[in-house]
Amino acid sequence: MSLTFDNSRLHNEYLTPSHNEWRNQLRRFFENEIIPFADEWDECGSIPADLWPKSAKIGILGLNYPEEFGGSSEGIDIWHKNILNEELARIAVGGVGATLMVHDIALPPILKFADRKLCEMVIPAVLRRKRISLAITEPSGGSDVASLSTKASLVDDHYIINGSKTYITGGMNADWFTTAVRTGGEGAAGISTILIPSNLEGVTRTPLDRKQGWWCSDTATIYFDNVRVPKNYLIGEENQGFKVVMVNFNSERMGMSPGWRRTRVCLEDAAKWAGGKTFGRKADHQVIPINFLI
């Protein structure tokens, strides 16, 4: 029985030698630096910090970000990103890819909506090795962004922020949080987004351990207690943050695509088991291949 990750892929006329080389480069890196250790990282509940600069060095962190900020965008298209997502799925330990690439949901709002100084301060640092997380979900609810309650009040030249966020991927080690806050009235029209450095007074965090399939991800609950954030850390215009969040969600949906490739990993592992031996004899009972066809 021959089932492999690659032989299930349909022909894609849009792929070029550049795409194929990118896949080969990623596969070599993942097979040498991640896959042999992923289960161990999952068991111990953390990912080594040196994985970020290693990933930056071969262009993973900076993929499709402007060269002026240390990324690589020339000649890069959506297929390069899809290939990265697909190869991340081969790791099989979901928390690795989700945590390593969490900047891909936290940086785009800054790149698209923040002022130049904020971009220059944050983006190059993250594409080298610093960490940033997206902080939207609250203990009272997740997908209903328009109902969030974390409050940001403008006092002179700072926003005073109070509230909490939870299920924040990469939150325990993030240097910044791209955060959705309430600066106006009820509903979507009162939402803003702001960058909150994690080292500010009043920012605390607690880990959320043993998440199913994501043990190695440093997911956290974040608390903001009278945190003073400079008003020029606002991302976009005040009370226009709902648009920022929704635009970002569009690109996030592409990140869900590795899910079906991860099922291929499960199928491949099952096929390997079925081709082995059980109780000293080959597992070639008729019922086994039938289950692969169902």
Fold of 17-129+253-273: Butyryl-Coa Dehydrogenase, subunit A; domain 1 (1.10.540)
Of the pLDDT bands very low, low, confident and very high (cuts 50, 70, 90), residue 276 is low
Q: With CA atoms as reference, report the closest residue to 132 among 88, 40, 86, 194.
A: 194
> How many Å apart are CA 29 and CA 49, to the nearest integer?
16
What would the mean pLDDT of 272-288 be, rounded to a whole number?
64
Architecture of the domain defined by 132-246: Beta Barrel (2.40)
Tens of pLDDT, residues 65-98: 999 999 999 989 989 998 998 899 888 788 898 8
Give the Å distances, CA to CA, from 100 to 60, 105, 115, 200.
9, 11, 26, 24
Catalytic positions, written as ranges: 252
What would the mean pLDDT of 149-162 be, rounded to a whole number?
98
> How many Å apart are CA 291 and CA 294, to the nearest integer?
5
Of the pLDDT bands very low, low, confident and very high (cuts 50, 70, 90), residue 62 is very high
What are the extents of the domains in the chain?
17-129+253-273, 132-246
**Do the domains 132-246 and 17-129+253-273 match in fold?**
no
> How many Å apart are CA 152 and CA 184, to the nearest integer?
9
Tens of pLDDT, residues 185-229: 999 999 999 999 999 999 999 999 777 778 888 999 999 999 999
Contact criterion met (CB below 8 Å) for 109 and 246: no
**pTM of the shown model:** 0.87
The DSSP letter of residue 175 is S
> How many Å apart are CA 169 and CA 214, to the nearest integer?
10
